[in-house]
Amino acid sequence: MPTVAMIGGGQLARMTHQAAIALGQRLRVLAASADEPAALVTPDVVLGSHDDLDDLRRVAAGAVAVTFDHEGVPTDLLHALVAEGVNVLPPPEALIHAQDKSVMRRRLSEMGLPVPDFVDLDGPDAEATLRDFFARHDGRVVLKAIRGGYDGRGVWMPDDLDDAVAVLTRSVADGTPLLAEARVAMRRELSAMVARSPFGQGAVWPVVETVQRNGQCAVVIAPAPDLSDELATQAQTIALRLANELGVVGVMAVELFETQDGHLSINELAMRPHNSGHWSMDGAVTGQFEQHLRAVLDYPLGDTRARAEVTVMANILGADSAPEMSMDERCHHLMARMPDARVHLYAKGERPERKIGHVNIVGAPGDDVAAVRERAERAAHWMSTAVWTDGWDEHGRE
């Protein structure tokens, strides 16, 4: 059976290996160190760096495809691999839209897709451009690093013009190019996950609602509650069209805003398994990790139907101070209280706000969405902090 190589040894690669096992395969990973989440669980590990061409060549050797658990590989190295005959998926021409927000914004605008007004802040006129854009949008502006931002890093919400100029000045000094976007008056955030194979088959999962805290995904509700059929179809159509026109291979998350006036606005693209797709591991017929493999292997895609009326995913984050109770013991108490909780742990050290696992709660028929969400969030909070949000005493002491 074929071998797929994944650049990056994080939790996305770890869970992709889990899916590879069922397909009679194993995942090869390029990991920075032997204790990364994926390197701990697959024997096929190449230790090296994602920005070293020789390391990339080593992990690609003999693999039918090279794919990614992050968007950090420099574009020139990807082109070099392709020139040497490596099957890089998604291809660099597609991946650039998930790496470079300026390229993405321009392309989506040209396609006539709903994006906020934006402007690149580069060159000697950058500050003048920012001042003008800021005035034009009554200060409702967000600044973003064009490359490299994720999970709230590389995104700034300036309080006023002075603050905005200060962010720009710092980033010019750091050599981090920025763009400015108009802030969207949003009702909530959505994600439309799609997969596409080289053959051209596309498949979308139900559109989900994502809840962000401190700039990163905290909770996902699948499918998005009370989303109109019209907006759901619109979001899925955007995802399928983008996957096709950009030439994506693998899974892609299209992160969207549902605006207060009932429209969609595209926020970000991610061309890899994505936090907003973790619910699918337990809540869909085919999970995103298997689907990503199927796509890069050019297998026919799997059925993306939801298996329940509602599934809620909540991230387990490292607490501000790691609890004294071990993760093992926390797991014990969670299982005692919620025998149906689906726990996914990444074997990562606990640092504040770091994603170290997630919990899926799959609702039973007729379950109330809010109740399922409450259980998922309670479970994740417990696993983070060893504190039950409702005061439950896990030892039943009086």
Which of 24, 62, 366, 396 forms a contact with a copy of itself (CB under 8 A)?
24
**In the complex with a copy of itself, which residue's Cβ is closer, 107 or 294?**
294
Cis peptide before 223 (omega within 30 of 0): yes
Residue 46 annotated in ligand binding: no
Q: How many Cβ atoms sit within 10 Å of the Cβ of residue 377? A: 19
Q: Closest approach of Cβ 356 to a copy of itself, in Å?
A: 9
| Token representation of residue 108 | 């989506």
Q: Closest approach of Cβ 289 to a copy of itself, in Å?
A: 11
Q: Closest approach of Cβ 336 to a copy of itself, in Å?
A: 4
Residue 309 annotated in ligand binding: no
What sign for the dihedral angle of Cα 37, 41, 43, 44?
A: negative
**Backbone phi, psi, residue 92, to 5°:** -55, -30
Print burial letters for 63-87: b (CB count within 10 Å at least 16), e (below 16). Answer: bebbbbbbbebbeebbebbeeeebb
Angle, alpha carbons 165-170-171 (nearest 5°): 95
Q: Closest approach of Cβ 328 to a copy of itself, in Å?
A: 6
Which of 133, 134, 346, 382 forms a contact with a copy of itself (CB under 8 A)?
346
For the segment 281-320, give every residue that binds a copy of itself (CB under 8 A): 285-286, 294, 298-303, 305, 307
- List, in order, residues 6 or more apart from 133 with CB less than 8 Å away: 117, 119, 141, 180
Which of 8, 10, 25, 71 forms a contact with a copy of itself (CB under 8 A)?
25
CA-based radius of gyration for the chain: 21
| Token representation of residue 230 | 């019209």
Residue 337 annotated in ligand binding: no
The DSSP-derived string for 207-238 is PEEEEEETTEEEEEEESPTT--HHHHHHHHHH
Q: Which stretch binds a copy of itself (CB under 8 A): 24-32, 46-54, 96-104, 180-188?
A: 24-32
For the segment 2-21, give every residue that binds a copy of itself (CB under 8 A): 2, 14-15, 17-18, 20-21
**Contact code string over 235-274 relative to a copy of itself, x by CB under 8 A:** ----------------------------------------
CB burial class (10 A; 0-12, 13-18, 19+) of residue 326? Answer: exposed
**In the complex with a copy of itself, which residue's Cβ is closer, 267 or 288?**
288
**In the complex with a copy of itself, which residue's Cβ is closer, 112 or 365?**
365
Residue 183 annotated in ligand binding: yes
CA count, 13 A, side-chain hemisphere, 147:
14
Q: Closest approach of Cβ 275 to a copy of itself, in Å?
A: 16
**In the complex with a copy of itself, which residue's Cβ is closer, 18 or 75?**
18
336 near a copy of itself (CB under 8 A): yes
3-class DSSP state for residue 180? strand
For the segment 38-77, give every residue that binds a copy of itself (CB under 8 A): 39-43, 45
- List, in order, residues 6 or more apart from 345 with CB less than 8 Å away: 316, 327, 331, 356, 357
**In the complex with a copy of itself, which residue's Cβ is closer, 107 or 355?**
355
331 near a copy of itself (CB under 8 A): yes
Contact status, residue 372 vs residue 309, Cβ threshold 8 Å: no
Residue 182 annotated in ligand binding: yes
Cis peptide before 90 (omega within 30 of 0): yes
- Contacting residues toward a copy of itself, per CB under 8 A: 1-2, 14-15, 17-18, 20-26, 39-43, 45, 285-286, 294, 298-303, 305, 307, 327-328, 331-332, 335-336, 339-340, 342-347, 357, 362
Q: Residues annotated in the binding site for ATP, as ranges?
A: 101, 144, 181-184, 189, 267-268
